[in-house]
Amino acid sequence: MPHVRIDVDRRATIAPVHRRLFGGFVEHLGRCVYDGLYEPGHPLANADGFRTDVIELVRELGISMVRYPGGNFVSGFRWEDSVGPRAKRPVRRDLAWHSLESNEVGLDEFARWLDLVGAEMMLAVNVATRGILPALDLLEYANHPSGTALSDWRIANGTIEPHNVRTWCLGNEMDGPWQTGFMSADEYGSIAARTSAAMKTADPDLELVVCGSSGSQMPTFGDWERIVLEHSYDYVDLVSCHAYYQEYDGDLAPFLASAVDMESFIDTVAAAADHVGSKKRSRKRIDLSFDEWNVWYLKEHQEAAPDLSEWRHAPRLLEDVYTVADAVVVGNLLMTLLKRSDRVVSASLAQLVNVIAPIMTEPGGASWRQTTFYPFAIMSRLATGTVIRPVVQSERYDAGKYGDVDEVDAIVTVDDDRAAVFLVNRNLDESAQVSIDVRSLGCSRIAEATTLADADPHAKNTRADPERVVPRRNVSGAFDSGTLTIDLPPVSWTAIALC
Residues that bind ligand AHR (CB under 6 A): 27, 70-72, 172-173, 214, 292, 350-351
In angstroms, the CA 243 to CA 46 distance is 35
Minimum CB distance to ligand AHR, residue 360 (Å): 16
**98: alpha, beta or left? (left if phi > 0; alpha if psi -120 to 50):** left
Residue 70 or 489 with smaller CB distance to ligand AHR? 70
In angstroms, the CA 308 to CA 164 distance is 39
Other CB atoms closer than 10 Å to residue 364's CB: what's the count?
A: 10
Backbone angles phi, psi at 272, to 5 degrees: -65, -45
Residue 29 or 229 with smaller CB distance to ligand AHR? 29
How many angstroms separate the Cα of 389 from the Cα of each of 16, 296, 321?
Answer: 12, 28, 33
Under 8 Å between Cβ of 229 and 193: no
Sign of CA dihedral 414, 415, 420, 422: negative
Instruction: Based on the residue annotation, tell me whether 225 is a catalytic residue of this protein.
Output: no
3-state secondary structure of 292: strand
In angstroms, the CA 110 to CA 100 distance is 19
Residue 180 or 195 with smaller CB distance to ligand AHR? 180
Minimum CB distance to ligand AHR, residue 259 (Å): 19
Instruction: Based on the residue annotation, tell me whether 161 is a catalytic residue of this protein.
Output: no
Q: Which of 173, 225, 247, 407 is catalytic?
A: 173
Which string of DSSP letters, residue by residue, matches 307-371?
Answer: --S--EES---S----BHHHHHHHHHHHHHHHHTTTTEEEEEEE-SBSSS-SEEE-TTS-EEE-T
Backbone angles phi, psi at 403, to 5 degrees: 75, -155
Minimum CB distance to ligand AHR, residue 188 (Å): 14
Residue 126 or 413 with smaller CB distance to ligand AHR? 126
Terminal CA-CA length for the chain? 28
Residue 299 or 396 with smaller CB distance to ligand AHR? 299
Under 8 Å between Cβ of 34 and 51: no
Residue 72 or 258 with smaller CB distance to ligand AHR? 72
The helix (run of H) or strand (run of E) holding residue 287 is strand 287-295
Q: Which of 80, 101, 292, 407 is catalytic?
A: 292
Name residue 21's amino acid.
L
Which string of DSSP letters, residue by residue, matches 439-495?
Answer: GGGT--SEEEEEEE--SSTT-B--SSSTTSS--EE-TT-EEETTEEEEEE-SSEEEE
Pairing between β-strand 167-170 and β-strand 238-245 as defined by DSSP bridges: unpaired
Residues with catalytic roles = 173, 292
